[in-house]
Structure 1
């Protein structure tokens, strides 16, 4: 179990992953319930954005705790790649990709969604945004600007100003992305000041170039804003630890939330769905993930239910496993069996397998080359492209 001071974060991860699982599972069972709730709440986006907020809150703190980029990136690789590679292997065998080389190179960067490479599983899109955030955080660390509150504001305003993005798309650029990523990381962790700065700037340039000029149409309205949401979590962390004022944090939250709502309403206009109900749905979705995070902070000194914290601890496994089971077991989910039976069987499989993958893949992976497990697991969960949920 996580330390008590982190249990509230695990509780938020649990809420986020349960929202996403609900969004995906109810495409097959309890569809009438989905038809009602879907008119007033986008459960998938609410869960995803909540997870992005948690990541933004804790990941830069992890970098500061490590104190150097090499240790930080080692911890991220140990935390993410073992289960990530295992999931890719299983899904590649079940559904061989059309271009194995491009798929392998693109997914090795953990930026396939932004590198224009077809995803081996749809939910990997969130990992590309997480990686872009890591690259930008690395840039700020190398130029010693980690305490600046400008990144979320600039990204939010840029996202609002360019909504919807109509990018000059590079198309599939996995090899170039991999080469620039490798060169930038080599410089950033080299230990030489000039190389660290050069590498950090290269990584930041890569992230911004992909976000601006190779955004998938599914996130043309909110791609930059997703990263802004993560940086908002970082600003909240700084305010929470006395490194900036709460009024400044409140200003950032207001700008980012307003820009995100502006982008979502702009998307509704593009889809010719600008109705009072759907505008209300956008507002409610924003309030659900923002309010959940605020409630978690307010209640963090109280006891977090053990079952909820435990789901949060295994949330990365739940993220990968739950959608893989949907992709591999669609016929079973569509079988002529009562919905409660299908749902119970599916959830038992998801949480049972997730416990196993966490215990026998995630934890050993975190211990590779380290005497202890990283106590701040990555908060990542996903859904398929926004267009499928709207």
Structure 2
């Protein structure tokens, strides 16, 4: 797809009081670092302590907490990246070199580790490895086949990130990208009816001609609407292509639909807070949407029927979602209010390597464990420290030798596109 003709209008400058270092907002890097560390500790701890895993499933999911922080950060910063006056094509070039090279490197590493019995692959992947691997290369594997085919377990959230980019691209083409408040409110309100939306409408166990017809109709309608709103023929074709990719994938989501709408709504809430910070909307409107989101999350959670988790054997009630999601919102709000202050450098470093850390830590969860205490330190705690330290070291290396060089190459490509 080439959409160099799509150029976003310049945005209002973000407040000069936002503390930045090296062109990066410190409060966002601090949030990224905390979110990545939360996900790592969740995954390591649930491997080492089954009792903790049961607690996290029923009461507070530290990893899910981290993911919601990531979604708020993406909702805040991605519109700024998309609307900085560059073309839509330049935006996607930057996103490609930001995300895919490291992700592909981790996929290859996972295959190599699996060959020496140091990384487990899901049964769905092993049933059809070639097709499943190709699906994983797209980073949309979660919408294609669900968790049963994805190699990097934590990468399900990346599928939602890419879907969010596609949605924003459509909104930009249609000139609706700055309608962040109504979009956020709409996404939040769709959480309630979204609970009734069936999963995997295209290739799920309950998919049929009727469900596929619904997907086809929705795709045609959305493609036609945004093609009509497009400024010229080239952007209209881009809208049709994006809709043809995004709509079927999103409607094929394999998880609970209420969560899918919740993820997208969270990202749009992050966008509203960005509009507020940049002065595009009033402070009252920004925080009103934020409070509405918290109230809605709590209210919807009260309606959740208890379900038995087949893996841990614990009952999941209404308690977990508000105790997990609302603290993520409050942490983001606190960091936003402190955006004019400096944050500790170790936390900023964690933020810089957060994407590497988020991906590579999964590769060490089948590493050897300590079996005996050392200096009175129990073996599980030794394993936790070893795995977390190992993940930090590997992430530092992948950031230095894979992630950052590819980002720099992407910036050079964007400069060429901008020059054209």
Matched, 1:294 2:333: yes
Greater relative contact order (Cα < 8 A, sep 6+):
1
CA shift for structure 1 position 94:
3.4
CA distance in 2, matches of 1:54, 1:355: 21
Decide which moves more: 20-29 or 351-360: 20-29
Question: Per the alignment, in what secondary structure is the counterpart of residue 319 of structure 1?
Answer: helix
Structure 1 residues 171 and 64: CA distance shift in structure 2, 3 A: same
CA shift for structure 1 position 132:
0.5
Question: Per the alignment, in what secondary structure is the counterpart of residue 169 of structure 1?
Answer: coil
CA distance in 2, matches of 1:160, 1:56: 21
Structure 1 residues 35 and 125: CA distance shift in structure 2, 3 A: closer
Partner residue of 2:47 out of 10, 16, 28: 28
Whether the aligned pair in 2 keeps the contact of 1:40 and 1:280 (CA below 8 Å) is yes
What's 2:272 paired with? 235
Question: Per the alignment, in what secondary structure is the counterpart of residue 89 of structure 1?
Answer: helix
CA distance in 2, matches of 1:137, 1:210: 15
What's 1:378 paired with? none
CA distance in 2, matches of 1:101, 1:32: 36
Whether the aligned pair in 1 keeps the contact of 2:200 and 2:254 (CA below 8 Å) is no
Question: Per the alignment, in what secondary structure is the counterpart of residue 147 of structure 1?
Answer: coil
Matched, 1:76 2:95: yes
CA shift for structure 1 position 247:
2.8
CA shift for structure 1 position 37:
6.7
What's 2:118 paired with? none
Question: Per the alignment, in what secondary structure is the counterpart of residue 83 of structure 2?
Answer: helix
The structure number with the bigger radius of gyration is 2
CA distance in 2, matches of 1:73, 1:168: 27
What's 1:111 paired with? 140
CA shift for structure 1 position 323:
1.2
Where in structure 2 are the equivalents of 1:247-326 lying within 5 Å? 247-271=284-308, 278-326=317-365
CA distance in 2, matches of 1:71, 1:366: 13
CA distance in 2, matches of 1:168, 1:39: 26
Instruction: For structure 2, list consecutive stretches of 5 or more residues without a partner in the other structure.
Output: 1-19, 115-120, 208-214, 374-378, 416-420
CA distance in 2, matches of 1:120, 1:2: 34
Matched, 1:225 2:244: no
Matched, 1:365 2:406: yes
Instruction: For structure 1, list consecutive stretches of 5 or more residues without a partner in the other structure.
Output: 375-390
Whether the aligned pair in 1 keeps the contact of 2:27 and 2:339 (CA below 8 Å) is yes
CA distance in 1, matches of 2:305, 2:168: 32
Whether the aligned pair in 2 keeps the contact of 1:222 and 1:264 (CA below 8 Å) is no
CA distance in 1, matches of 2:261, 2:54: 30
What's 1:48 paired with? 67
Aligned positions, number: 356
What's 2:117 paired with? none
Where in structure 2 are the equivalents of 1:83-94 lying within 5 Å? 83-94=102-113
CA distance in 2, matches of 1:52, 1:315: 13
CA shift for structure 1 position 341:
1.3
Structure 1 residues 5 and 301: CA distance shift in structure 2, 3 A: farther
Whether the aligned pair in 2 keeps the contact of 1:211 and 1:224 (CA below 8 Å) is no
Alignment TM-score, normalising by the size of structure 1: 0.81
